[in-house]
Amino acid sequence: MGILLNCDMGESFGAWRMGEDELVMPLVDQANIACGFHAADPLTMQRTVKLALDNEVSIGAHPAYPDLVGFGRRAMAVEPEEVEALLLYQIGALDGLCRAEGSQVDYVKPHGALYNAIASDASLLRAALSACARYREGLPLMVLARVDNSASQRIAEQLGVPLLFEAFADRGYAADGSLLVRGTPGAVHGEDELILAQALAFARGEPVSLAGGGTLTLQADSLCVHGDHAHSRAVLRRLRAALDAL
């Protein structure tokens, strides 16, 4: 199928609304569904699961630190043992709703600050991989694609967990393939043309220009466009058409 397209979904909470899931879902291959710790509630999760299944979209658990107020984007001092438990708890919650609809969670993609911590701390990566391995044999973990993925691949192979490498269409990068910290210049792209160009470059395996100079080439299995981006639906529609034409 070539590179896949994923988006964070189900991030509303009660009366508070985030994203345009009903309009975005038909445009993506994978839906990263919030599991109640950074966003979502049981009814939102259930509705998002049904929406994904109606559109034949693969369902991923999107677990986070317990941080509803900060939308899961605040760093926390959490030990590996607790990270593993946090993931198991949230995967199980979403998977229970999936099973009620005759489906299951297809992969796991951590959210926000937890995602970044796993990308930079081998002990937390091991904890996340252990959660996947213990929950279900063959359950993949989605992680940040870097220039050199060998270290994460070695740990994943030790635990028998498949990795899905992800690149971001709408985030700025450092030269090593790490994401620029939110709040710093160039960390989040706001221009539709820049998002589209970066996404297509990653999809083709071509170099992407960096804000600080130089270029970056990544090998990725899936591309992410954030659903809370102001123009995400318009960008996703154009990107879907462009990827289908590759």
Per-residue pLDDT at 227: 66
Length reported for the chain? 246
Q: Residue 224's closest CA among 213, 214, 216, 236?
A: 236
Reading the block at residue 121, the tokens are 């701390």
Domain tally for the chain? Answer: 1
Q: How far apart are CA 224 and CA 212, in angstroms?
A: 22
Per-residue pLDDT at 233: 78
The enclosing domain of 34 has a CATH number of 3.20.20.370
Per-residue pLDDT at 226: 80
Whole-angstrom CA distances from 213 to 87, 172, 173, 175, 210 are 37, 12, 11, 9, 5
pTM score: 0.95
- Residue ranges, the chain, pLDDT below 50: none
The whole domain housing 94 covers: 4-245
Per-residue pLDDT at 231: 64
